[in-house]
Amino acid sequence: MAKILAVNAGSSTLKWKLFDMPAEVQLAEGLVDRLGQPQSKVKIKYGDGQKYESDTPIANYQEAVASLMGNIKSLGLVEHLHEIIGVGHRVVAGGEVFAESVVVDDETLLQIQNLRDYAPLHNPVEADYIAVFMKMMPWATEVAVFDTAFHQTMQPENFLYSIPYDYYKKYGARKYGAHGTSVRYVSARAAEMLNKPLEDLRMIVMHLGSGSSITAVKDGQSIDTSMGFTPLAGVTMGTRSGDIDPSLVAYLMKKLDIPDVGQMIHILNNDSGLLGISGLSNDMRDLEAAEDTNPRAKLALDIFVNRVVKYVGSYAALMNGVDALIFTAGIGENGDEVRDKIMRSLGYLGAKIDNDINYKSHGVEADLSTPDSTVKTLLVPTNEELMIVRDVMALS
């Protein structure tokens, strides 16, 4: 038996899961939160409902990885760290360079760093963490699993922007998408639930969370997806604007006296979306609690639902119909009210849900469809980490 780590790194968080492979048994999951702040938090779940927590300050990535390794050993999850034979890293952007998961060497690490412009909030951090793991666990196979890889099956008519073609050839200016690892898992699991071959299905996967995307999956392949050159495009998200007229960027920069486009991109990434519309929160739960008394909170919710419904409709048209609609990720799995609101507008597809089941389903795999639905609606909790460790196992 081999143990493999799945790592999902952010600038202030480090999430991980430890699996026993090839049995695919999850042994533990952990979170380092508020990295670099005076009161960092470490939370670990393991064993039979056991928990470990601490508030030890953690200043940087090296200390975060050292904490992870120390806790895994001290909690008895491994006797020796060398039992961990591989580490799989979620990497958002692989561009056209990476169409599948790869073992990381120095050249690969440099390529990931060079793709920073494709996911400026993600790739630099993920590359730095990979470098730390390579240094601190040199015996382990490091594997990069790219969110964009699954979407490399898109055809040019779906991934190209209507700008001079040379910009694509010279600079890689095209749609790449994101959340591909999640969509890859969810679509395959949905096919199993439906007891039908993945290759025979047309599905629309709604990955709804703080970052949200909609993906059309046909015959097991990504046909189109809502996120674009970076994860900023698409539907309204927690703090991201989603789709916006580029001319509005120039207009606002002039009105706000912003000389640096990077500052404007920061606003679109961090101060927009549900937060920007509501002025209250980027958290769906806060907005739902306030929607009856706060018109802007209700407006933010309405816009979110509106954008999802539009993308679903366009992808159903693109595939000439749909066999299944899939909800996944934080909001998709736990937001029963959001699922209800979205599905009210999709009855024309033949998709109807049983709200008795819907409102009882929180993060648990379920068929939400009514018996007379001609299009299935499923809740499928995502498991990106399982996909990651499977890829590590295959490449080790």
| C-alpha distance from residue 328 to each of 111, 206, 266, 393 (Å) | 31, 6, 27, 25
Q: Is residue 90 a known part of a binding site?
A: yes
In single-letter form, the type of residue at position 29 comes to E
Q: Is residue 331 a known part of a binding site?
A: yes
Q: Is residue 313 a known part of a binding site?
A: no
Q: Is residue 346 a known part of a binding site?
A: no
Q: What Rg value do the Cα atoms of the chain yield, rounded?
A: 21
What is the 8-class DSSP label of residue 369? B
Distance CA 151, CA 222 (A): 5
Q: Is residue 49 a known part of a binding site?
A: no
Q: Active site residue: 33, 105, 128, 147, which one?
A: 147
Q: Is residue 284 a known part of a binding site?
A: yes
Q: Is residue 209 a known part of a binding site?
A: yes
Q: Is residue 200 a known part of a binding site?
A: no
Distance CA 315, CA 325 (A): 11
Active site annotation includes 340: no
Q: Which residues pair with 144 in a beta bridge?
A: 89, 102
| C-alpha distance from residue 353 to each of 3, 192, 197 (Å) | 40, 20, 23
Distance CA 79, CA 88 (A): 21
Q: Is residue 8 a known part of a binding site?
A: yes
**382 touches 185 (CB < 8 A):** yes
Q: Which of 392, 382, 12, 386 is nearest to 179 (CA)?
A: 382
Do the bridges between strand 324-328 and strand 366-367 make them parallel or antiparallel, or are there none, so unpaired? unpaired
Q: Is residue 285 a known part of a binding site?
A: yes
**32 touches 112 (CB < 8 A):** no
Omega within 30 of 0 (cis) for the link into 246: no
DSSP per residue, 3-52: EEEEEEE-SS-EEEEEEEETTTEEEEEEEEESTTSTT-EEEEEETTTEEE
Q: Is residue 30 a known part of a binding site?
A: no
Q: Is residue 207 a known part of a binding site?
A: yes
Non-local (6+) Cβ contacts of 49 within 8 A are none
Q: Which residues pair with 213 in a beta bridge?
A: 207
CA angle centred on 56, ends 54 and 59, rounded to 5°: 135
Q: Is residue 334 a known part of a binding site?
A: yes
Question: Residues marked as binding?
Answer: 8, 15, 90, 207-211, 283-285, 330-334, 384
Question: Residues marked as binding for ATP?
Answer: 15, 207-211, 283-285, 330-334
Question: Residues marked as binding for substrate?
Answer: 90
Residues noted as catalytic? 147
